């Protein structure tokens, strides 16, 4: 797809507008961040907003309010500590940042047991820019520009006379507080675009790059704003063409250009580098998108590889099935890729898991302009366990999902009714046979030995179906992102010992460290793993739904019995 073609996409248009607003803020503030040595503070203030984001997620109010509230508190605390202690700003920033991050982790893990991803709260996406994000970016651009114009003389004087701005100086604190507040506002505004961890890509790196070839502050600001806009727009277009996450793409592009200009160090060489980069961009955006290929039937978008496995089994070769989440991916840390939005925009049906497992599909569908049918498989489940989203671990629910997918495909493509029904019937027979085999296999193990301890609480449906007793979970949450407290882990150790649990089960997509620690404390084995949040990699035992269920059942039977068992 040509660059002009990408510019016609609504999500690209919104992303470019967001970049332009933020570029204005970067131009106004970037040089002052460099002159005043606030690069670390700028990065830290966005990252320190983490507890505010967790609070917003847990209490249900606007994330930007929580983020900016904590950012202002961070900046104020920093100034108070710096003046009282007389420390350098970077060392004081590090102290306050550690406290903010620790508070955020405690809130996410122990207070809210947040199912929302810790990582996704720190990363934004230019692909999912909402009207509110654009408004915040526009207000930020105007606000920081006005503040920079009126406070420039004071900021410059303080920069050349840092001793008088310290704890013993007589200079007013207002200019410093204005600068910290403006930087905090700009850093929070970038959350929607690139996330807190990549703030430097827009607010610091462009200013550092232009500093190598421009000296006058006014021209430096204009050059910084222009470069930030070019890097942001180019990064978004390259990411769309190559199906990369835009934030990291912009960061790599900005860092690479800084390195090239640093080597060149002359205006002429820098201009040549910029021209070469533009040529590469235009050449790279001339390819065609493989999502434009023709398909016989409807296009189906599935939020997870597991749902895509069912949809592919029903559709066969008649429909094109696109899985947004790759196999073995963590649904809690999902960041959309450009081709996910392109596929969603062209889809006839979007199929979701539901129950909070893949709520991110809503902004994806909205930004893609999707106007087809949305199918929430959880709404038709015959077996429900509260808000637990891992319903597929009961094969009866899998049968219901396959039937719902069959009916959705028939409605979208009536000409394929014979194919869809024939494929669904064959697959349902296999699911029923597997269900019976697993039940028979696990029934050979005494009920008292069917005690399950896993990484996180993802197997309630499986336990209910096959009469397994769930003793506990290491993370004690529906999310694999939470962290256990020392007291929780100690209590679980005591429970495992008391219940004489033979094996604790890790998960393929999670780190085994906590499970291994639990095994060392209790003497249980920890060499058996389960597929918790979805399928394993293609070709692995859990690469399909039928394979995943058989692999999980075999691992459980082996752990319960203390000897190798094969189920399914």
Residue 22, pLDDT > 80, answer: yes
**What's the pLDDT band for 459 if we cut at 50, 70, 90?**
very high
Burial class (CB in 10 A: 0-12, 13-18, 19+), 216: exposed
pLDDT given for residue 267 in this prediction = 56
Residue 354, pLDDT > 80, answer: yes
Element (H, E) at 546: helix 545-561
**What's the pLDDT band for 159 if we cut at 50, 70, 90?**
low
pLDDT given for residue 291 in this prediction = 46
Q: What is the DSSP string of 367-391?
A: HHT--SEEEEGGGG-SS--TT---G
pLDDT given for residue 422 in this prediction = 97
Q: Which residue has the higher pLDDT, 101 or 177?
A: 177
pLDDT given for residue 5 in this prediction = 65
pLDDT given for residue 70 in this prediction = 79
Mean pLDDT of 487-516: 84
Which residue from 566, 547, 555, 554 is spatially nearest to 309, judged by alpha carbons?
547
Mean pLDDT of 117-141: 78
pLDDT given for residue 30 in this prediction = 94
Spatial CB neighbours of 51, under 8 Å, sequence gap ≥ 6: 66, 70, 100, 101, 103, 104, 107
Residue 515, pLDDT > 70, answer: yes
**What's the pLDDT band for 117 if we cut at 50, 70, 90?**
very low
Give the CA angle between residues 548, 512, 453 to the nearest 5°. Answer: 65
- Residues 416 and 405: their CA atoms lie apart, in Å, by 13
Cβ atoms of residues 400 and 383 within 8 Å:
no
Which residue from 562, 9, 547 is spatially nearest to 328, judged by alpha carbons?
547
Residue 270, pLDDT > 70, answer: no
**Domains within the chain, CATH numbers bracketed:** 3-284 (1.10.3470.10), 294-437 (3.40.50.1980), 438-561 (3.40.50.1980)
Strands 506-507 and 529-530, by their bridges, are parallel
Distances (CA, A) of 381 to 63, 352, 359, 430, 534: 32, 13, 18, 19, 18
Mean pLDDT of 471-477: 74
> How do residues 36-93 score in pLDDT, each as one tens digit?
888 888 888 877 777 777 777 677 667 777 777 877 787 777 767 766 655 566 667 7
> How do residues 205-252 score in pLDDT, each as one tens digit?
999 999 988 888 899 999 999 999 999 999 998 888 888 888 888 988
Which residue from 45, 14, 360, 389 is spatially nearest to 183, judged by alpha carbons?
45
| Percent of the chain topping pLDDT 70 | 81
Q: Minimum mean pLDDT among 119-123, 220-224, 290-294: which range?
A: 290-294
**What's the pLDDT band for 483 if we cut at 50, 70, 90?**
low
Q: Which residue has the higher pLDDT, 379 or 168?
A: 379
Strand partners for 351: 302, 375
Q: Which residue has the higher pLDDT, 8 or 159?
A: 8
| Percent of the chain topping pLDDT 90 | 40
Residue 164, pLDDT > 60, answer: no
Residue 258, pLDDT > 60, answer: yes
Q: Which residue has the higher pLDDT, 5 or 136?
A: 136
Residue 319, pLDDT > 70, answer: yes
pLDDT given for residue 37 in this prediction = 85
- Residues 471 and 473: their CA atoms lie apart, in Å, by 7
pLDDT given for residue 232 in this prediction = 92
């Amino acid at each position: 797809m040509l660059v002009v073609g990408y510019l016609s996409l609504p999500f690209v248009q919104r992303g470019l507008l967001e970049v332009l607003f933020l570029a204005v803020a970067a131009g106004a503030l970037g040089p002052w961040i460099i002159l005043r040595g606030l690069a670390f503070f700028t990065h830290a203030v966005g990252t320190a907003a983490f507890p505010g984001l967790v609070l917003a997620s847990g209490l249900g109010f606007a994330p930007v309010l929580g983020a900016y509230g904590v950012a202002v508190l961070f900046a104020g605390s920093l100034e108070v500590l710096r003046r009282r202690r007389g420390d350098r700003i970077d060392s004081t920033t590090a102290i306050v940042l550690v406290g903010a991050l620790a508070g955020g982790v405690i809130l996410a893990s122990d207070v809210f047991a947040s199912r929302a991803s810790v990582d996704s709260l720190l990363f934004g996406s230019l692909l999912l820019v909402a009207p509110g994000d654009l408004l915040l970016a526009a207000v930020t651009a105007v606000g920081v520009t006005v503040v920079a114009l009126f406070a420039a003389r004071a900021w410059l004087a303080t920069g050349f006379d840092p001793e008088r701005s310290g704890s013993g100086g007589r200079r007013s604190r207002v200019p410093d507080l204005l600068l910290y507040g403006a930087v905090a506002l700009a850093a929070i505004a970038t959350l929607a675009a690139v996330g807190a961890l990549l703030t430097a890509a827009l607010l610091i790196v462009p200013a550092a790059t232009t500093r190598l070839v421009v000296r006058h502050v006014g021209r430096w600001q204009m050059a910084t704003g222009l470069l930030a806009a070019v890097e942001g727009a180019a990064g978004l277009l390259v990411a769309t063409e190559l199906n990369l996450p835009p934030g990291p793409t912009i960061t790599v592009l900005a860092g690479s250009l800084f390195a090239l200009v640093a080597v060149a160090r002359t205006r002429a060489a820098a201009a040549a580098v910029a021209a070469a980069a533009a040529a590469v961009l235009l050449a790279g955006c001339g390819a065609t998108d493989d999502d434009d290929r023709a398909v016989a039937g409807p296009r189906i978008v599935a939020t997870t590889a597991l749902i895509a496995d069912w949809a592919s089994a029903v559709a066969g070769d008649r429909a094109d099935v696109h899985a947004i989440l790759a196999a073995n991916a963590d649904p809690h840390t999902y960041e959309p890729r450009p081709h996910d939005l392109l596929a969603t925009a062209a889809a006839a049906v979007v199929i979701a898991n539901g129950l909070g497992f893949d709520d991110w599909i809503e902004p994806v569908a909205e930004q893609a302009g999707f106007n087809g049918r949305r199918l929430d498989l959880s709404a038709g489940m015959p077996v429900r366990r509260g808000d637990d989203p891992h319903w597929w671990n009961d094969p009866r629910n899998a049968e219901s999902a396959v039937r719902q997918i069959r009916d959705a495909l028939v409605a979208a493509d009536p000409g394929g009714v014979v194919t869809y029904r024939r494929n669904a019937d064959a697959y349902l027979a296999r699911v029923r046979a597997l269900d019976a085999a697993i039940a028979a296999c696990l029934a050979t193990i005494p009920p008292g030995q069917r005690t399950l301890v896993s990484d996180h609480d993802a197997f309630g449906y499986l336990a209910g179906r096959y009469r397994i007793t769930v003793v506990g979970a290491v993370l004690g949450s529906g999310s694999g992102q939470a962290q256990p407290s020392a007291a929780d882990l100690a209590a679980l150790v005591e429970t495992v010992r008391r219940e004489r649990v033979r094996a604790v089960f890790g998960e393929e997509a999670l780190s085994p460290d906590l499970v291994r620690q639990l095994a060392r404390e209790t003497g249980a084995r920890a060499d058996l793993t389960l597929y918790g949040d979805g399928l394993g990699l293609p070709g692995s035992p859990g690469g399909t739904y039928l394979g995943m269920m058989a692999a999980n059942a075999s691992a459980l039977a082996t752990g319960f019995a203390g000897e190798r068992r094969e189920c399914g």
